[in-house]
């Protein structure tokens, strides 16, 4: 009982420190940083590394050449074996950063979709459109927990199934239109879903379960 209490207290304090540092948390002490201000966020990055694991999202950064050089100089400071920096990359990540990650960095693991010179350590099957929708949703204020929630597996009626139901005299619940009218409706996009970020969380949880990372401490 006492051990569980202290574990809960440690996680609570760590979460409070992350919040104080302005970094969202993805659970189990995993922080998230998507640089918007290259200079200010570089200080956050440098201060976070000794504390614990981090997801560094470099899929929508607008770095100048000087910004890239500063981040490249900071990346080798990762303490290999003591924590992990999971880096989310895409074809929009600055080429010099992609090249540095491709050469290998201790303590870094890259995750993303393979396309146009982007070759992450862990490839995720997603599309550019889906990724951009998720990134735009986060920028608009969608919580990270919502973006990484598993997509619904609930089957939906397509036009052939609707026609079959109509011929049998069935009407899908909540649907009063005919199959022809339904076919004329534009497809509705589902909620934004960030498959790359979800994979990062899954990898972190897996490493914790395997004892490959030290226990989270405040």
Span 12-67, pLDDT tens digits? 333 334 333 568 999 988 999 999 888 888 888 877 766 788 999 999 888 888 99
> 75 falls in which pLDDT band (50, 70, 90)?
confident
Of 196, 71, 64, 180, give the one whose Cα is nearest residue 138.
196
Q: Give percent above pLDDT 70 in the chain.
A: 65
CATH 3.30.70 fits 2-151+191-209, yes or no: no
Pairwise CA distance, residues 35 & 25, whole Å: 15
Beta strands per DSSP E along 100-194: 108-112, 122-123
> 91 falls in which pLDDT band (50, 70, 90)?
very high
Of 80-94, 152-166, 197-211, where does mean pLDDT reach its minimum?
Answer: 152-166
State the pLDDT at residue 190. Answer: 67
Pairwise CA distance, residues 161 & 165, whole Å: 6
**Domain locations in the chain?**
2-151+191-209
State the pLDDT at residue 57. Answer: 94
- Side-chain half-sphere CA neighbours of 111 within 13 A: 25
Per-residue tokens: 197: 């970020």
Q: What is the pLDDT of residues 116-173, one digit of tens each?
A: 889 999 999 999 999 999 999 998 999 999 999 865 444 444 445 545 555 565 544 4
Higher pLDDT, 78 or 155: 78
pTM (whole model) above 0.75: no
Higher pLDDT, 101 or 167: 101
Pairwise CA distance, residues 89 & 55, whole Å: 11
Is residue 100 pLDDT above 80, yes or no? yes
Higher pLDDT, 173 or 191: 191
State the pLDDT at residue 174. Answer: 43
Helices (H) and strands (E) in the chain — how many of each? 9, 5
> 79 falls in which pLDDT band (50, 70, 90)?
low
Q: Are 72 and 100 in contact (CB under 8 A)?
A: yes
């Amino acid at each position: 009982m006492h051990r569980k209490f202290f574990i809960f207290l440690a996680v609570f304090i760590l979460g409070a420190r992350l919040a104080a540092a302005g970094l969202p948390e993805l659970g189990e002490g995993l922080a998230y940083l998507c640089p918007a201000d290259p200079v200010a966020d570089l200080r956050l990055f440098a201060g976070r590394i000794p504390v614990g694991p981090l997801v560094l999202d470099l899929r929508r950064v607008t770095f100048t050449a000087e910004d890239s050089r500063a981040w490249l100089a900071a990346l080798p400071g990762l303490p290999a074996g003591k924590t992990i920096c999971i880096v989310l990359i895409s074809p929009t990540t600055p080429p010099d950063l992609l090249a540095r990650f491709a050469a290998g960095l201790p303590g870094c693991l890259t995750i993303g979709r393979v396309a146009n010179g982007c070759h992450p350590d862990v490839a995720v099957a997603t599309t550019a459109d889906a990724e951009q929708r998720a990134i735009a949703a986060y920028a608009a204020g969608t919580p990270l927990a919502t973006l990484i929630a598993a997509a619904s597996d609930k089957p939906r009626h397509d036009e052939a199934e609707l026609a079959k139901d109509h011929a049998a005299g069935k009407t899908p619940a909540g649907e009063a239109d005919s199959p022809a009218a339904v076919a004329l409706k534009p497809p509705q996009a589902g909620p934004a879903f960030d498959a790359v970020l979800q994979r990062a969380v899954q990898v972190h949880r897996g490493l914790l379960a395997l004892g490959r990372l030290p226990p989270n401490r405040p």
